[in-house]
Chains A and B, each alone.
Chain A
Amino acid sequence: MNANSEILCDSYKKQNWIKKLFLYFVILLLIVAMAVGISIGASGLGPWDVLSSLIKDTGRNHSIVWMLRLPRVIMAAIVGFGLGLAGAVFQAILRNPLASPFTLGIGSGAGFGAVTVILFFGGGFQTYLIASGAFLFSLISAFLILVVAKMKRASSETMILTGIAQMFLFSSLTSLFQYMGTMEQIQEVVFWFFGSLSKAGWREIGLASAMVLIPFPMLLRHAWDFNLLSAGDESALALGVDVSRLRMSSVVAASLMTAGCICFTGVIGFVGLVSPHITRMVIGSDHRFLLPTSGLVGAVVVVAADILGRTLWAPHVIPIGIVTSFIGVPFFFYLLVKRSKEYW
């Protein structure tokens, strides 16, 4: 019996080792994707020029790499990581495959905030003002979910229904404001909704990465609680998890993450929904591995989508939000059809 137990323990450890291996593989993939992302662009700098400009000051090339390409690629990675991770967290705490920052209305909240600023506070190129509006309203929408959840014992169904309802509310308000706006304003709104990485500078990167990386350890610490939650609230309660508190604090953390990401880039949809699914199909749903890997997969997806957006129709740049959905959806269909077992 002892020998057999050892075999069981070993096969469990082996499975975990494979999951870890996949995590490293995705890290490698991200590094490669980022390297490619830095090496391409309108100015025609090749990989070697980029490498030398990274190290020493080569004048114009140096500023192209440091002021344009590097921030863009890093921002793409951070936003992808944040959205992928937030999606995994929402799906875990709501135990629902449809949950993502956008299906919960947090994206629509951000959009509404941005529209409000563009219409009533001038807009123009005041990135920070728009970002603040988007940030504020995505938090308001998260807060709304929390309030309703608090009144009704924080069941996942309540939270999802609240999210969907406010998604419609914010969308209709956004449409109303667009209807009231001038042509220029509408154009700016539309561009915001496409999503864009071109406005990202180092300061934005600093803020966004703080919003993503500060809640990350807290969420990772609860990985086991998320695992327990997938077997239902009651089982989790009986195993010592304070379910409603976990749900509340995780919604706050994941919403901050989402808000921090999309307020600077506009709507980059879909990553938050698919990254957890892609990851789960490969490594299952032990959240100790799922959370970081889902974030990294999201980062790879956004960096890769940005590369495609910049090369497919060069010298035009296709907005990042369009590319992620355009590439992501068919790929996701493919995975849905091809996967061997159904997890949800």
Chain B
Amino acid sequence: MLQVIDLFFDYGSTRILEGIGARIEGGRVLSVVGPNGAGKTTLLKCIVRILKLARGSILIEDRDATCISRRELAKYLGYVPQNMPAKIPMTVFEMVLTGRKPYLSWRPSEQDLWITANILHEMDIQDLAMRDVEQLSGGQAQKVLLARALAQEPRYLLLDEPTSNLDLRHQLEVLDMIATLVKNKGIGAMMAMHDLNLAARFSDTILMLKEGKVFSIGTPSEVITPKNIREVYGVEVAVRRDNGYPHIQALHCVIDHSDSD
């Protein structure tokens, strides 16, 4: 279990995150939702130590994460950034192989190559293996980034808006893939999500942030309510239930809401 306890983060003198608490469990998906600027991405980056937290602690299997070296941490946490950075001069195979970095010294072993190849197969992107990363479409790139994180053989996956640049089909494909991985490998996943309906459908728990604080946490049905969304997003919505998942339909903005942006 990965626990986030009373986490604070400041950017300069601006407080971005304030007293966040959350837990990611193996085999389960936690989605972080909230309007732009609520601190979703920042929270993920604090956990993988791209950003240094101001206060609070992160426990991984009851070990204090700050005592774990960066390299060791990369064996626990796989991070999937939102975008493929432009112009990476690598093939897909090389890119996914870099996920083995926490394990290898200088020369990748047969096992490293083997794990890389198997992941490409599992995700059905083996045909892309020798292609240059920069030639990939958005959906393919997202899968390659996910594949790289899986090559780390992590216990937890942290995904920053994994569906943000994808068309409808690829959104479902990628989320299905994540759901399957979580179920089959017992990985714990934390996703920053914009789309509340997808979040509701693919998550066990939803953490709703407002201005850097936890506004609500619980099952999708508990969190995705007209009242919460009005307060956090400043939008009036209707929530239906759809195959057991809450499904929202945006109606209109709430006029005269101080927090709308």
Give the interface of A toward B (CB within 8 A): 1, 4-6, 8-9, 11-13, 15, 221, 223-224, 227-228, 230-232, 234-235, 237-242, 280, 284-286, 288, 341-344
Contact = CB atoms under 8 A, between A and B. Distances in A.
A317 B87 CA distance: 42
Given A8-B129, A228-B98, A242-B70, A223 B81 contact: no
A238 B99 CA distance: 10
7 contacts: A9-B117, A15-B130, A230-B90, A235-B85, A239-B152, A240-B74, A280-B89
A341 B132 contact: yes
B94 A286 contact: yes
Interface residues of B, number: 44
Contacts of B69: 240
B93 A344 contact: no
B74 A223 contact: no
Contact of B50 (A1, A13, A234, A342): A234
Contacts of A238: 48-50, 74, 77-79, 81
Given A12-B113, A227-B94, A238-B74, 17 more contacts: A1-B118, A8-B117, A9-B114, A9-B116, A11-B93, A12-B94, A224-B98, A224-B106, A231-B85, A231-B88, A231-B98, A232-B81, A238-B48, A238-B81, A240-B71, A240-B72, A242-B70
B89 A284 contact: yes
A285 B89 CA distance: 6
B182 interface: no
Give the secondary structure class of A's interface.
helix
B121 interface: yes
Contacts of B81: 232, 234-235, 238
Interface string B90-104: 110111011101101
B181 interface: no
Interface string B115-155: 01110110000100110101000000000000000001000
